[in-house]
Structure 1
Amino acid sequence: MTEPNHSTDDAPTIHSLDPAALGTDDDPLALGSRSPVGTYALVFDAPEATVEVGALGEHRFPAGAYVYVGSAFGTGGLRRVRRHRRVAAGDHDARHWHVDYLGGHPAVDLARVVCLTDRDVECAVATELASSLGSAPIDGFGSSDCSCDAHLARGDSVETVTPLVEAAFRSKM
């Protein structure tokens, strides 16, 4: 499902996508060819697991839905999301970011990708989700380049978390 919020093609747009569509002919972001810049959220479905998270060390993740919020304003833009999908699918082994350790765990499933093109709202969305979900499970996760507590939040299920993620992005339009 793609959810346009403005009438012009150049306006910021929220996309809520099945990760399997990324880089295919059905990808509204066309991540296989060109790529807009923007802010994204990766929604993971995870059983209880213990994961080594790079410099943050080993952490226990209770079962639930985890939302990581990031941004992609470099030359590759939102193609970074496709790379995260490849790590989550086991097709790419390099771990560069905290989220790669969670997403690359074999029992964790990348269930949804939500993004907002052309807006840098990473910290605002991460803060709103931590507040609405009442959970930032690991201090410093994904926030080593800002003053936020974390850019990871936890909820009960993908089905309950995804609408909250979409609403957080809509509120930043």
Structure 2
Amino acid sequence: MPKNRLKGTYCLIIQLKSQQNIKIGRLGEIDFKRGYYVYVGSALNSLKSRLERHLKDDKKLFWHVDYLLNNPDANVEDVVFAVSDEKWECSLAAHISKEGSEIHAFGCSDCKCPSHLFYFQDLEGSKRICLESFEKLGLKPLDLSDLERL
């Protein structure tokens, strides 16, 4: 498979620098605490392009996470991902939900999960659970430093 067509599952680790009430598409207004959020997603077409899109500041608001990332106090602190032809998004979200507080209905309009966004108070805890969750599923976690090699 050509490198630009790699498939995979990812976690965006997002810092929100202040408490915010943010309108998230059709979900409406959601109160977000100051802290860190893990968003679980997948790209079954082009993983690198999807991750690069999430990291851009200027983009059309399409997915729930776009609305969160559009807030000037929100930024992607890190990305953890794995290359795989299988869709691990829901399994990964289930693992992360054991430690994070879910933001109800966020990012899961195409599945039966309660959420694909989870709140954590600190960066270390959010990154640790991401890495552990990928490993529990038998996936090799990669991070932002690996993105250029894709």
TM-score bracket, shorter-length normalisation: 0.7 to 0.9
Deviation at 1:35, TM superposition (A): 4.4
Q: Which residue of 2 is the match for residue 44 of structure 1?
A: 14
**Following TM superposition, by how much is the alpha carbon of 1:157 offset from its aligned partner in structure 2, in angstroms?**
1.1
One of 84, 95, 102 as aligned partner of 2:61: 95
Q: Provide the residue aligned with 2:72 in structure 1.
A: 106
Report how many aligned residue pairs link the two structures: 135
* CA deviation vs aligned residue, 1:116-145 (integer Å, no higher than 9, x gap): 101421001111111122x102x2100000
- Per-residue Cα deviation, 1:65-113 (whole angstroms, up to 9, x for no partner): 1000000002x23411110110xxx2x2310100001111110111000
**Computing the radius of gyration over CA atoms, which structure comes out larger, 1 or 2?**
1
In structure 2, C-alpha distance between the alignment counterparts of 1:59 and 1:79, rounded to whole Å: 28
Report the secondary structure of 2:4's partner residue: coil
Aligned structure 1 segments of 4 or more residues deviating by more than 3 angstroms: none
Partner of 1:155: 120
Pairwise CA RMSD: 1.5
Amino acid at match of 2:47: G
Output the CA distance in 2 between the equivalents of 1:164 and 1:59. 24
With normalisation by structure 2, the TM-score equals 0.85
Among 85, 107, 128, the alignment partner of 1:142 is: 107
TM-score by length of 1: 0.74
Structure with greater strand share of residues: 2
Structure 1: gaps (5+ residues)? 1-9, 11-32
Aligned to 1:81: 51
Structure with more helix by fraction = 2
Matches within 5 A, 1:4-23: none
Aligned: 1:57 with 2:28: yes
Question: How far, CA to CA, are the matches of 2:54 and 2:38 in structure 1?
Answer: 13
Question: What percentage of aligned pairs have identical amino acids?
Answer: 32
Partner of 1:124: 91
Ranges in structure 2 where 5+ consecutive residues have no aligned partner:
139-150
Query: Counterparts of 1:162 and 1:80 in 2: how far apart (Å)?
Result: 20
